[in-house]
Amino acid sequence: MHKKFIASPALRLGAFALLGFLLILISGFVDELRVYQGAEVAVYVVAIASITLLTGYSGQLSLGHGAIMAIGAYAATLSFNGWHIPWLLALAVGAVAGAIAGYILGFAAARLSGPYLAGTTLALAVGVPSLANQFHVLGGEQGLTFDIGDVPQWASNSWLAKVGGGDFTTYKWFYWITVPIALATIWIVRNILSGPLGRRFKAMRSHPTAASLIGIHVSRTKVVAFTYSSSLAGLAGAMLAMILGLSAPLVFTLTLSFTLVTGAVLSGVSNLYGGIIGAMVLVAIPELSASVATHLGGSEKVTANLPGVVTSLLLILTVLILPNGAKVGRSK
């Protein structure tokens, strides 16, 4: 009975809510750069969770989640700018757009596996940014601005905003938005993966033929996995566009897709909570690379290429040294 109490959804929800409150409270005591990086970490947590659900649990490899993030980002930006809907609803539109893209892609995934599926999603990652350059409605190379406006008065006047002193800036507002969304995402995905659908995902990943024999519709389950995963990727893309204030091809490049895979591998592809570590590492890489580039003379080529080199080396070292990823709250 004690174990059941500890594992109860209500208690887990309470723990996540308390953690969210503490993280919001901490934002009053750190500088603006760290607060903004915290928002970036939250975005990557959602994006890596999408990889964990798809690859870690259903066994399907995608190298194109950066493109699905782009679809979510552009959908959110266009709906916000064109329909003038609230920013929160625009983020939801991004998630829905990602889900639709994943549903369509899922039908291809149902007939492909291994390198063939990876190649198909890789082509998507290469093609979507190029297509965005060709359409004026998408802003071409310059992209589209996604400005959610000033911090609402109720937030800036709240006692929580005044904790630690200092002004309640836009960066803190982004942090307040993204952190609860990331925690809610982890909680929802955790409940999905511990339920019947999660068990079907794991059965399909472990042995598709055996899963089919016990009544699991493998093709349909692959489509469902892609749809759920892509909805998270679309949400992450919309969140990224919001904190950057921009949806542009240069934001959602092929490098982003590989970066997400690196973060997922680093955290353990089937480790949902480890995604937090992966996200923190991905956010820290550009700053560490800039510091190293400065010591190496500050060359523009070194500064531009070093983050990609560091990410690639990190992926290789993780596969060689920690093939199962970080052991943080690993899901059973």
Give the torsion sign (CA, 97, 272, 47, 13).
positive
Examine residue 267 and state whether it is found in any structural domain, yes or no.
no
What confidence tier does 5 reach under pLDDT thresholds 50, 70, 90? very low
Instruction: Print the domain residue range for 130.
Output: 20-253
Examine residue 119 and state whether it is found in any structural domain, yes or no.
yes
What confidence score (pLDDT) does residue 117 get? 80
Examine residue 178 and state whether it is found in any structural domain, yes or no.
yes
Highest mean pLDDT among 38-47, 101-110, 163-172, 289-298: 38-47
Cβ contacts of 93 within 8 Å, gap of 6 or more = 75, 76, 79, 85, 238
Between 289 and 257, whose confidence is greater? 257
Q: How far apart are CA 328 and CA 332, in angstroms?
A: 12
Q: How far apart are CA 79 and CA 5, in angstroms?
A: 43
What confidence score (pLDDT) does residue 68 get? 95
Examine residue 330 and state whether it is found in any structural domain, yes or no.
no
Tokens standing for 206?
A: 């472990």
Identify the H or E element spanning 77. Answer: helix 65-83
Over residues 73-113, the pLDDT tens digits come to 999 999 999 999 999 999 999 999 999 999 998 888 777 77
Examine residue 135 and state whether it is found in any structural domain, yes or no.
yes
Examine residue 309 and state whether it is found in any structural domain, yes or no.
no
Mean per-residue pLDDT of the chain: 87
pLDDT at 3 over 50: no
Q: Tell me the average pLDDT across 296-313.
A: 74
pLDDT at 215 over 60: yes
> How many distinct structural domains can be found in the chain?
1
Residue 288: CB atoms within 10 A of its CB come to 13
Examine residue 91 and state whether it is found in any structural domain, yes or no.
yes
Q: What is the largest CA-CA distance in the chain?
A: 62
Examine residue 318 and state whether it is found in any structural domain, yes or no.
no
